[in-house]
A and B are shown apart, each in its own frame.
Chain A
Amino acid sequence: MARAVSNKTKTINTVIAGTLGVLMFFPILWIIILSFKTEEDAVRAPLEVLFQSGWTTDNFSTVQARSDYFRHFSNSVIISLGSTLLGLVVAIPAAWSMAFVPARRTKDVLMWMLSTKMMPPVGVLVPIYLIFRDTGLLDSRVGLTVVLMLINLPIIIWMLYTYFREIPGEILEAARMDGAGLKEEILYVLTPMAVPGIASTILLNIILAWNEAFWTLNLTAANAAPLTAFIASYSSPEGLFYAKLSAASIMAIAPILIMGWFSQKQLVRGLTFGAVK
C-alpha cells in the first residue's frame, strides 16, 4: 500500500534531489554551454559566460577541421558495433545451450567465463602489444574489434544467459513436440521471445565498447583511433581551447549519453552479472 504523501513533502524532496541531480549533471551541462561560446568567452567568469556573452556554432566545424571528428566517429561506430555483433554470434549459441540444456558443469563454465573478465588488462598488455605489432594489427580496426569483443564476451554471455533463463522451457518443449527441429526452435520460438534481452545486451555492450579507454588508447595511433583517443589528443592545450574541447567532448559523448538513458535497467543487470535485479 502506497501512502498518501502531501504535496509539501514531495516538493521538499524534489528540491533536495533536484539540487543533487543538477550538481552531478553540472559538468556535462557546462560543456554543453561552453561548446556554443567563442574561445574568448569560454574562459570568462562563469556568470559572465552565462549572462554576458553570445552564442556560436563555429566550434563544431572547427573541431571537425582540426582533428577529423567523422573519421574517429566512424571508427568508434565500427569498433563498438562490430565487437558487439561479433560477440553476439559467439555468445547466443553458448548462452542458449547453457540456459536450456544445462549440464552438470554449466555453472563451473559460467563462473570460469566470468573469471576471465577479472583479469586486469595490464596483465596481458605486453604480449598483446607485441603480437599486434608483429602481425600488423596494431592501429587496425579489425584488431581492436576482436580485442573488445573478447573483453566483453563474458558480459554478453552472462547477460544473455540471465535473459534466456527467464524464458519458460515448457514452450520450447511444446514446440519440439509439435515437430520443430532445432533450427525452427531457435528461429521461430526462441528468437522472438529473446529479442528484448538481446536488444538490451547490444545496448549495454555498445556503451561499454564506446567508452573503453585502455585498449583503444594503447593499441591505436592514427588510422583506427576511436573517439576516446580523439579526445586524448586535446590533453596538450594549444592556446585557448576550452570551447573546442567542449565541442569535441559533446560530440564524443552525445550518442552514448542518449543510448545510456534508455539502458539504466540493463546496466544494473549486465554489470552485476544478475546479482542485483
Chain B
Amino acid sequence: MATKASRAAARMMISPAVILLFAWMIVPLGMTLYFSVLRYNLLTPGANPFVGWENYYWFLTDPSFSAAMVNTLVLVGGVLLITVIGGILFALLLDRPMFGQGVIRIMVIAPFFVMPTVSALVWKNMFMNPVNGIFGRIATGLGFQPVDFFGQIPLASIIIIVAWQWLPFATLILLTALQSLDQEQLEAAEMDGANWTSRFWYIMLPHLARAITVVILIQTIFLLSVFAEILVTTNGGPGTASTTVTYLVYVSSLLQYDVGIGSAGGVVAVILANIVAIFLMRMIGKNLDA
C-alpha cells in the first residue's frame, strides 16, 4: 500500500519530467503565438509592431498555402494508402509458414532504420535519376522515354520514398497484431467451411482493425512533419509542386526570415496536427483502462 511518504516521494520523482515537458511545450508555443501577431522580420530590424491577424491573413491567403495544404493531404493520404494496404499484404505473407522467416523479415523491416536524408538521396540519385538511375535505365532499355521524376512528378516521387520508409513500420505492427490472433478460431472457421476470403474479411480484418487505426494515426503524426525528404530532393519545387505545410513554414521563417508569418504558419500546423492527435489520444487512452 502506498503511504503518505511514498506519495510525496512519487510526486518529487515525477516533477522534473513534468516541469521539463511543460516548459518545452508552453514557452516556445507561447512565443510562437506571440510572434504570430507581430510584424517581425529578421531582415528589417527595429520595432516589431502588433498587427493582429495580419500574418494569418497573409499566410492563409497565400496561393502557396492552398497548394501546400493540398500537397500535404496528398502526401499523407498517398503514403497511408500504400503503407496500410501494402502492410496488410506483407503481414499476411510473412505470417505464413516458410523457410528463413527471420532473414526475410529483417530485409522487409530494414528500410525503417535508414535515416531520411540517406533514403531520399539514394532514391533521388541511384533510382530516380533519368539518366543514370535504375528506373531510367530500365525505361530506356525497354524503349520508353525515361521519367524525370522530380521534374514531372515531384510529389509522387516523394510519396514513393516516404512510403518505402514507412511500409516496414506498418508491416511490423500489423504482423505483431496478426500473430496475436487466436489460431483455433481460424481453424474452427475453416472446419465450418469458411473459405480464405471470408476468414480474412470476418476474422482477420476485424482483429487487425485496432492495429490499422494505430498505424494510421501514428503515421499521420509523423507524416505531417516530413521535412528532410523534401529538403534534399526538390526543395519544395518545381514552383510549389512539392511544398507541404511544414516545408512552407520552414521557407517563411528560416529562408525568408519572416518570423511573424512563419509563426502564424506554425500555429496553423499545430492546429492541423491536433485534430489528428485528439483521435489518437482517445484510442490510446481507452487502452490504458483495459
Q: Taking beta carbons and an 8 Å cutoff, which residues of A are in contact with B?
A: 1-3, 5, 9-11, 13-14, 16-18, 20-22, 24-25, 27-28, 30-31, 34, 43, 45-46, 90-91, 93-94, 96-98, 100-101, 103, 107, 109-111, 113-131, 150, 153-154, 157, 173, 182, 207, 210-211, 213-214, 217-218, 227-229, 231-232, 234-235, 237, 242, 245-246, 249, 252-253, 256-257, 259-261, 264-265, 267-268, 271-277
Contacts and interface: CB of A to CB of B under 8 A. Distances in A.
B231 A122 contact: no
B115 A96 contact: no
Contact of A249 (B17, B28, B122): B122
Contact of B104 (A21, A97, A207, A245): A21
A119 B29 contact: yes
Label chain B's interface by main secondary structure: helix
A134 B190 CA distance: 68
Interface in B197-248: 210-211, 214, 218, 221, 224-225, 227-228, 231-233, 245-246
Contact of B25 (A1, A31, A107, A119): A119
Contact of B231 (A121, A227, A232): A232
Label chain A's interface by main secondary structure: helix
B273 interface: yes
Given A109-B14, A120-B225, A123-B267, A114 B110 contact: no
B172 A267 contact: yes
User: What 10 A-B pairs have minimum CB-CB distances, sorted nearest first?
Assistant: A93-B13, A260-B113, A97-B10, A118-B277, A127-B31, A124-B28, A21-B107, A213-B228, A94-B17, A25-B107
Interface stretch (B59-67, B77-85, B91-99, B151-159): B91-99
Contacts of B43: none
B259 interface: yes
18 contacts: A2-B183, A21-B108, A28-B110, A91-B17, A107-B285, A114-B281, A118-B280, A120-B272, A122-B266, A122-B269, A125-B254, A131-B31, A211-B113, A213-B116, A217-B117, A234-B121, A252-B118, A264-B172
A9 B13 contact: no
A91 B15 CA distance: 10
A109 B105 CA distance: 36
Given A45-B137, A273-B284, A150 B20 contact: yes
Nearest to B262: A126
Interface string B46-89: 00000000000000000000000000000000000000000000
Given A31-B126, A127-B31, A253 B113 contact: yes
Contacts of A110: 288
B32 A126 contact: yes
Contacts of A213: 115-117, 227-228
Given A103-B10, A118-B277, A153-B17, A275 B214 contact: yes
B100 A18 contact: yes
A13 B176 CA distance: 19
B6 interface: yes
Contact of B126 (A16, A27, A217, A272): A27
B254 A27 contact: no
Given A17-B104, A46-B137, A232 B232 contact: yes
Contacts of A277: 176, 180
B265 interface: yes
A31 B104 CA distance: 19
Contact of B115 (A31, A116, A153, A210): A210
A49 B18 CA distance: 55
